[in-house]
Amino acid sequence: MTDRTAGDTDAALSQQALRLGGRVFPPGEMIVMGIVNRTPDSFYDRGATFTLAAAVAAAERALDAGAAIVDIGGVKAAEGDPVSPTEELDRVCAVIAAVRSRRPEAVISVDTWRSGVARAAVTAGADLVNDAWEGYDPDLVRVAADAGVGVVCTHAGHLPPRTEPDNPRYDDVVADVVRTVSHLAERAVAAGVSRDQILVDPGHDFGKTTVQSLEITRGLTDIVGTGWPVLVAMSNKDFIGETLDLPVTARLPGTLAVTALAAWLGARVFRAHNVDEVRQVLDMVSSVRGERAPAVRRRGISSPNRSDGRPTAVT
């Protein structure tokens, strides 16, 4: 067997197991995180899952389609109408409690930068705090530590929450990501979060231009090389739309392309709107890498016991 890109895909295989909720994901296993937006103004679904019933149903569909984690958020990342902590808490906690009741095996993530919301969310049943805003609230990691849950440490271009980038500049954007997420992860450890419950996210589109988001995608091996499991949140984002000059509704092929690349380069968790398609991409990459056997093996194999009763000729 020929040597794979040495040091690239093998970097993912050398990482530690990831422990979230009641699940332990072994090194190298690639995980889908289904997105559930309980917001009226999501860039992707425009409020389609804003009601409680719709949000819970979306979470269950994601789990049925192959997601191991569902990420529940109550505030869109971009600028928009203000959402108070109380309103955000009301939006996410009811969904978390309902999903926990219906799907006790699921790993549930809350997408928030606010420690008060995170505290209520873990009480409701969340296993992971997905902080997309670079530790803006310093108490958030303490909440995760006290509750014994995981945390996502994200590079957001050193911007406060819900801030759009304005001509961001970096001497080396990949190096800045590596330095920042490594610092955030070690800060989480110092606060008491277990090392096997910490992920890092390079933050595509957060504090970055399209060119910079493409650059961190190419540089994922350096981020994987930190040893922290890498989560990528690329699904249908603007850097894909601008690269291909396509609206949100036409970005799935681009999303799947960067998903395959990120998987090959060692990312572990993939935040996705289109769970079924992303799961298929990850399974295909795993099979090419030799980590997953094909679901069926019929082609070119002579057998008198085929499902249709006819032998298959060797070709």
List residues with catalytic annotation.
237, 271
Buried b (16+ CB within 10 A) or exposed e, 35-47: bbbbbbebbbbee
Q: How many Å separate Cα 258 from the centre of its chain?
A: 13
What span, in angstroms and rounded, lies between the C-alpha atoms of 216 and 230? 12
Strand partners, 34: 70, 272
Half-sphere exposure of 287 (CA within 13 A, CB side): 11
Side chain identity, residue 245: D
**CA distances for 301 relative to 311, 314, 315, angstroms:** 9, 5, 8
How many whole angstroms separate alpha carbon 55 and alpha carbon 270? 20
Which residue's structure tokens are 């799907």?
103
Residues 108/21, Cβ–Cβ less than 8 Å: yes
Cα separation of the two ends of the chain: 22
Torsion of CA 121, 124, 128, 131, to 10 degrees: -10
CA angle 31, 152, 92 (to 5 degrees): 90
Q: What is the identity of the amino acid at 6?
A: A
